């Protein structure tokens, strides 16, 4: 730091003389001057070489500033569930620091399951404080890609299948995070909905589906969240890689949405100097290096936006304005973060952060089914058997770039032992073997048999069995860079759950996953909890929901189809819809750098178009096993007749809606009131209904509360491909107000007249 500031101080000392002979700092160093003036002042002091240097990495997770002018580098970190452990300067190995352990927050899919924007703000603030304390300027998250298929290995890093929910949760996360002077970097822009072939696949999707489903959460992050950076995705759209995609970055992000922040490439997502120069990429990160940082043929100087870019600028083949614009954006990001004098110090692993992780975890757990066995009051049973690998597994490890090094993690088994004491016994029940990243070994059948037999024998003598399984963070599970191979739970868990249900009717299943999965045993299990990866305090949240200390209030952020073929992306069974078709005879190793017109890359076609998730289940009348928005409580809520301010609505008008809700039970609880809108008749196919607003209400036992909503004309519109604009057609619309996408408690019709 000293090294960087020294030249700036010198400049300050030699700078122009102000009134009464005082020295005035150069404008770009004047902390109270408007940022845009500081940016322009700094920009005109930079040499061409310095501008180009800003545009690419200098290490795995940093990009340079301008030492000569005292402009510091940008330090980045994954994201999005906690601040990742330090990585070596120039390799993917952990640096082995002893002061980089952090609080692990619940996965973003858990955050989405809270349906509570206040939880998103709490999350953003806490993770921002940790990032700040760790000296980071950019946190690589949150992710808002839409959940298209349950096979996507990275769904746990995103916020579900609905753009309204994902956008509403992303905005407070971003705002609260950035209050720390740390930039959020929303990812992965755009259409990164699968991990298979992620670096090469070209996504073929209608403009309407793009606008209605895949872009709105990004749009909100930019327009309402005011996000300072965005990460281009690995895949292609219109045949062009998204890190330098003219349609996405120039036309939509910059042109239409007026984004003034930086586009940062995904690590290794840049493939071409000219495209990167012209199509809106600002900072190139993660392109392959050979371990040397300068003057080597594959060091940082050889990045697409380094020496090759400089040469094309010098020769006049690329316009100088391209680099001015990038440097301007990067300086703006530096002034907002690394040179922001007002940013707080932050804090790490504070009790407040653990409390935030616990509160988010508590609200995220979804009670899918309960015949009354839950909650398990602590004095009700004497012999409690816990079964399952996820009762003890550290689920903060693995999963790819979202892996976390925690200071404190409480597993479900530990937390259950604290609550129920020596009534608890444990059997592992199954094992996932010892898979290495990207490589999975078969577990010998004899090992599986003996683990299962042990658990089943103990289950016969227990009063109640708590099963804690699901997916984990190994390859082909919930893990970056691979997709799941099957919709079933892995490691023989279906057989194990069936056998446990046979051995003991008091079986409670808790599955920890970031994805939907098949439940062939669903009718034989009296209670099912769906939890996601809950971070440091996850075990406590699970134990508290099981015991009733916490009344569950999570709602599914994605549908759980009965079978994979009930999911829109898999309905055709055609590989062209998932995972895509790979051209004959093409070695995938060569595909990413192949010329754009050679089609030397796979293509996936989103044939389901706008009917993703519940939009598909509703419209095609294919019931999900557990629908989007579903989640039970230990109490029950009744919905009164909504009050609507008018029976019709015209252009520019709004409808005010109030929904009274009563807690009919004897426990305090929280209910998420969901407001969906359906266009009764339209000239184009529309989903039966779409989520437009939601409110999470806390209601005391026996008490009542009101959910208030304001409906605007925008809530009625679809994207019209003919006019390339948003259109609301005259006619009757229905408001569907409910406790899930299928548990609709009230319907109200109104007319829209234009
Ligand atoms: C991931 C990004 C991540 C980056 C840096 C990439 O492989 O796709 O989400 O931020 O690595 O770790």
Q: In this predicted model, what pLDDT tens digit does every residue of 641-689 receive, in sequence order? A: 999 999 999 999 999 999 999 999 999 999 999 999 999 999 999 999 9
Ligand 1 midpoint to CA 480 (Å): 9
Of residues 42 and 301, more confidently modeled: 42
Tell whether ligand 1 has an atom less than 6 A from the beta carbon of residue 157.
no
User: Any idea which residue has 């072939």 for tokens?
Assistant: 197
Closest CA to 717 of 726, 705, 730: 726
In a domain, 113, yes or no: no
Does the pLDDT of residue 442 top 90, yes or no? Answer: no
Ligand 1 midpoint to CA 233 (Å): 9
Burial-class residue 172 by CB neighbours within 10 Å (0-12, 13-18, 19+): buried
**Are 319 and 371 found together in one domain?**
no
Closest CA to 207 of 568, 572, 684: 684
* Site to substitute for ligand 1 among 77, 235, 267, 480, most atoms within 8 A of C-beta: 267
Q: How confident is the model at residue 296 (pLDDT cuts 50, 70, 90)?
A: low
Domain total of the chain: 3
**Are 433 and 329 found together in one domain?**
no
**Are 309 and 390 found together in one domain?**
no
Question: Which residues partner with 639 through β-bridges?
Answer: 661
**Are 328 and 404 found together in one domain?**
no
Query: What separation in angstroms does the CA of 291 have from each of 136, 298, 321?
Result: 23, 8, 32
Catalytic-residue membership of 224: no
**Mean of pLDDT values over 74-93:** 94
| Rounded Cα gap, residues 166 and 259, in angstroms | 19
Quick one: which H or E segment has residue 453?
Answer: helix 445-461
**Are 314 and 446 found together in one domain?**
no
Q: How confident is the model at residue 21 (pLDDT cuts 50, 70, 90)?
A: low
**Are 313 and 414 found together in one domain?**
no
Side-chain-side CA neighbours of 422 within 13 Å: the count stands at 0
* Site to substitute for ligand 1 among 189, 270, 400, 481, most atoms within 8 A of C-beta: 400
pLDDT value at residue 715: 98
What's the CATH code of the domain at 392?
3.40.50.1700
Q: What is the DSSP letter of 391?
A: G
What's the CATH code of the domain at 717?
2.60.40.10
Q: How confident is the model at residue 583 (pLDDT cuts 50, 70, 90)?
A: confident
Cα first-last separation, the chain: 60
Alpha-carbon dihedral sign for residues 477, 478, 484, 488: positive
**Are 382 and 471 found together in one domain?**
yes
pLDDT value at residue 435: 60
| Rounded Cα gap, residues 645 and 435, in angstroms | 59
How many other CB atoms are found less than 10 A from the CB of residue 31?
11
pLDDT digits (tens, 9 = 90+) for 304-323: 999 999 999 999 999 999 99
Tell whether ligand 1 has an atom less than 6 A from the beta carbon of residue 266.
yes
Considering 527, 547, 567, which residue would you say is the last residue of a domain? 547
Range in 48-57, 188-197, 591-600 the model is least confident about: 591-600
Q: How confident is the model at residue 527 (pLDDT cuts 50, 70, 90)?
A: very high
Ligand 1 midpoint to CA 627 (Å): 31
pLDDT value at residue 11: 45
Tell whether ligand 1 has an atom less than 6 A from the beta carbon of residue 229.
no
| Rounded Cα gap, residues 153 and 145, in angstroms | 12
- Domain span at residue 453? 365-547
| Rounded Cα gap, residues 688 and 615, in angstroms | 7
Closest CA to 142 of 107, 94, 104: 107
Query: What separation in angstroms does the CA of 468 have from each of 278, 417, 507, 509, 583?
Result: 51, 14, 11, 6, 42
Burial-class residue 196 by CB neighbours within 10 Å (0-12, 13-18, 19+): middle
**Helical spans, DSSP H, in 303-411:** 307-314, 320-336, 351-364
Tokens of 191: 């259409």
Closest CA to 325 of 337, 308, 313: 313
- Three-state SS string across 302-320, please? HCCCCHHHHHHHHCCCCCH
Reply yes or no: is the peptide bond before residue 245 cis, omega within 30 of 0.
no
Of residues 463 and 434, more confidently modeled: 463
Does the pLDDT of residue 731 top 60, yes or no? Answer: yes
**Mean of pLDDT values over 630-646:** 98
Percent of the chain with pLDDT over 70: 93
In a domain, 352, yes or no: no
Q: Whose CA is nearest to atom 3 of ligand 1?
A: 401
| Rounded Cα gap, residues 352 and 686, in angstroms | 45
**Are 402 and 481 found together in one domain?**
yes
| Rounded Cα gap, residues 473 and 480, in angstroms | 9
Does the pLDDT of residue 14 top 50, yes or no? Answer: no
If DSSP codes are grouped into helix, strand and coil, which group holds residue 451? helix
In a domain, 260, yes or no: yes
Q: How confident is the model at residue 443 (pLDDT cuts 50, 70, 90)?
A: confident
Does the pLDDT of residue 550 top 90, yes or no? Answer: yes
Ligand 1 midpoint to CA 142 (Å): 12
Q: What backbone torsions phi and psi does residue 311 show, to the nearest 5 degrees? A: -65, -40
**Are 323 and 461 found together in one domain?**
no
**Are 251 and 323 found together in one domain?**
yes
Tell whether ligand 1 has an atom less than 6 A from the beta carbon of residue 466.
no
pLDDT value at residue 579: 97
Closest CA to 515 of 394, 370, 626: 626
Ligand 1 midpoint to CA 10 (Å): 38
**Mean of pLDDT values over 497-518:** 98
Range in 139-143, 172-176, 599-603 the model is least confident about: 599-603
**Are 329 and 409 found together in one domain?**
no
What's the CATH code of the domain at 170?
3.20.20.300
Q: What backbone torsions phi and psi does residue 44 show, to the nearest 5 degrees? A: -75, -5
Q: Whose CA is nearest to atom 4 of ligand 1?
A: 267
Considering 547, 577, 593, which residue would you say is the last residue of a domain? 547
Burial-class residue 595 by CB neighbours within 10 Å (0-12, 13-18, 19+): exposed
In a domain, 29, yes or no: no
Ligand 1 midpoint to CA 401 (Å): 6
pLDDT value at residue 303: 94
In a domain, 176, yes or no: yes
If DSSP codes are grouped into helix, strand and coil, which group holds residue 371? coil
Ligand 1 midpoint to CA 284 (Å): 12
Does the pLDDT of residue 121 top 90, yes or no? Answer: yes
| Rounded Cα gap, residues 371 and 187, in angstroms | 40
pLDDT value at residue 378: 83
In a domain, 201, yes or no: yes
Does the pLDDT of residue 590 top 60, yes or no? Answer: no
If DSSP codes are grouped into helix, strand and coil, which group holds residue 93? coil
If DSSP codes are grouped into helix, strand and coil, which group holds residue 566? helix
Q: What is the DSSP letter of 28?
A: G
Range in 45-49, 203-207, 287-291 the model is least confident about: 287-291
Considering 529, 547, 565, which residue would you say is the last residue of a domain? 547
pLDDT value at residue 1: 38
In a domain, 693, yes or no: yes
Q: How confident is the model at residue 13 (pLDDT cuts 50, 70, 90)?
A: very low
* Site to substitute for ligand 1 among 480, 481, 483, 592, most atoms within 8 A of C-beta: 480
Query: What separation in angstroms does the CA of 380 have from each of 142, 267, 377, 510?
Result: 42, 52, 5, 19
Chain centre to alpha carbon of residue 713: 28
pLDDT value at residue 6: 44
Q: Which of 78, 137, 202, 266 is catalytic?
A: 266
Q: Whose CA is nearest to atom 8 of ligand 1?
A: 266
Contact of 71 with 331, CB cutoff 8 Å: yes
Residue-by-residue DSSP string for 24-50? ---GGG-TTS-HHHHHHHHHTT--HHH
Contact of 476 with 485, CB cutoff 8 Å: yes
**Mean of pLDDT values over 401-423:** 97
Does the pLDDT of residue 587 top 60, yes or no? Answer: no
Contact of 143 with 188, CB cutoff 8 Å: yes
Nearest ligand 1 atom to the CA of 87 is 12
**Mean of pLDDT values over 437-446:** 70
Closest CA to 610 of 665, 679, 544, 673: 679
Does the pLDDT of residue 450 top 70, yes or no? Answer: yes
Percent of the chain with pLDDT over 90: 89
User: Any idea which residue has 């056998």 for tokens?
Assistant: 499
In a domain, 480, yes or no: yes
Q: How confident is the model at residue 455 (pLDDT cuts 50, 70, 90)?
A: very high
**Are 539 and 433 found together in one domain?**
yes
**Mean of pLDDT values over 251-258:** 98
**Average pLDDT of the chain, as a whole number:** 94
If DSSP codes are grouped into helix, strand and coil, which group holds residue 706? strand
Q: Whose CA is nearest to atom 7 of ligand 1?
A: 267
pLDDT digits (tens, 9 = 90+) for 213-247: 999 999 999 999 999 999 999 999 999 999 999 99
pLDDT value at residue 16: 44
Q: Whose CA is nearest to atom 6 of ligand 1?
A: 267
Of residues 725 and 299, more confidently modeled: 725
């Amino acid at each position: 730091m000293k090294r960087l500031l020294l030249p700036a101080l010198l400049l300050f000392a030699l700078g122009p003389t102000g009134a009464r002979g005082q020295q005035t700092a150069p404008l770009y160093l004047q902390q109270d001057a408007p940022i845009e003036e500081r940016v322009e002042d700094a920009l005109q002091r930079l040499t061409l070489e310095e501008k180009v240097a800003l545009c690419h990495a200098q290490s795995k997770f940093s990009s340079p500033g301008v030492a000569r002018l005292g402009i510091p580098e940008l330090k980045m970190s994954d994201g999005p569930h906690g601040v990742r452990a330090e990585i070596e300067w120039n390799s993917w190995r952990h640096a082995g620091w002893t002061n980089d352990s952090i609080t692990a927050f619940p996965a973003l899919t858990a955050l989405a399951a809270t349906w509570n924007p206040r939880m998103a703000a709490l999350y953003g603030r806490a993770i921002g404080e940790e990032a700040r304390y760790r000296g980071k300027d950019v946190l690589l998250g949150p992710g808002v890609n839409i959940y298209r298929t349950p096979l996507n290995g990275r769904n746990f890093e995103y916020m579900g299948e609905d753009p309204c929910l994902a956008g509403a949760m992303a905005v407070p996360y971003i705002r609260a995070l950035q209050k720390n002077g740390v930039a959020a970097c929303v990812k992965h822009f755009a259409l990164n909905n699968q991990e298979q072939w992620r670096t090469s696949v070209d996504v073929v999707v209608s403009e309407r589906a793009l606008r209605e489903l895949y872009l709105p959460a990004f749009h909100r992050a930019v327009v309402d969240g005011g996000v300072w950076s965005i990460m281009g995705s690995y895949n292609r759209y219109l045949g062009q890689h998204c890190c330098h995609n003219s349609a996405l970055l120039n036309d939509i992000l910059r042109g239409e949405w007026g984004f003034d922040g930086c586009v940062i490439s995904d690590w290794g997502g840049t493939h071409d100097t000219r495209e990167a120069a012209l199509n809106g990429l600002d900072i190139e990160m993660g392109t392959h290096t050979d371990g040397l940082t300068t003057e080597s043929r594959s060091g940082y100087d050889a990045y697409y936006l380094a020496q090759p870019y400089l040469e094309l600028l010098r020769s006049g083949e690329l316009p100088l304005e391209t680099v001015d614009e990038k440097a301007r954006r990067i300086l703006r990001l530096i002034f907002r973060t690394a040179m922001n004098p007002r940013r707080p110090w932050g804090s790490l692993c504070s009790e407040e952060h653990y409390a935030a992780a616990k509160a988010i975890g508590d609200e995220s757990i979804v009670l899918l089914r309960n015949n009354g066995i839950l909650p398990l009051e602590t004095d009700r049973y004497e012999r409690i058997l816990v079964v399952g690998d996820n009762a003890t597994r550290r689920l903060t490890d693995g999963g790819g770039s979202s892996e976390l090094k925690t200071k404190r993690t409480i597993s479900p088994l530990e937390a259950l032992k604290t609550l129920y004491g020596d009534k608890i016994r444990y059997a592992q029940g199954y094992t996932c073997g010892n898979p290495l990243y990207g490589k999975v070994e078969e577990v010998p059948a004899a090992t599986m048999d003996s683990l299962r037999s042990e658990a089943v024998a103990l289950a016969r003598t227990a009063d109640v069995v708590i099963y804690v399984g699901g997916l984990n963070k190994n390859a082909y599970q919930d893990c970056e860079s691979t997709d799941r191979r099957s919709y079933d739970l892995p490691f023989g868990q279906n057989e194990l759950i069936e056998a446990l249900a046979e051995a003991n009717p008091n079986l409670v299943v808790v599955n920890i996953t970031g994805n939907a999965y098949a439940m062939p045993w669903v009718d034989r299990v009296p209670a099912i909890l769906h939890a996601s990866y809950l971070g440091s305090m996850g075990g406590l949240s699970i134990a508290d929901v099981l015991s009733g200390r916490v009344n569950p209030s999570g709602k599914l952020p994605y549908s759980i189809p009965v079978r994979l073929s009930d999911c829109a992306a898999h309905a055709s069974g055609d590989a062209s819809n998932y995972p895509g078709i790979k051209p004959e005879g093409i070695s995938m190793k060569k595909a990413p750098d192949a010329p754009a017109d050679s089609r030397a890359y796979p293509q996936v076609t989103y044939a389901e178009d706008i009917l993703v998730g519940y939009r598909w289940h509703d419209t095609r009348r294919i019931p999900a096993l557990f629908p989007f928005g579903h989640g039970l409580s230990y109490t029950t809520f009744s919905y009164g007749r909504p009050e609507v301010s008018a029976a019709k609505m015209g252009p520019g008008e709004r409808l005010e809606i109030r929904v009274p809700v009563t807690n009919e039970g004897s426990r305090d609880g929280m209910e998420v009131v969901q407001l969906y809108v359906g266009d009764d008749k339209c000239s184009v196919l529309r989903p039966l209904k779409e989520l437009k607003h939601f409110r999470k209400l806390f209601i005391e036992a026996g008490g009542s509360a009101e959910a208030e909503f304001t409906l605007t004309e925008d809530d009625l519109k679809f994207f019209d491909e003919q006019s390339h604009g948003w259109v609301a057609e005259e006619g009757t619309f229905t408001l569907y107000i409910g406790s899930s996408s299928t548990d609709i408690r009230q319907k109200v019709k109104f007319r829209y007249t234009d």
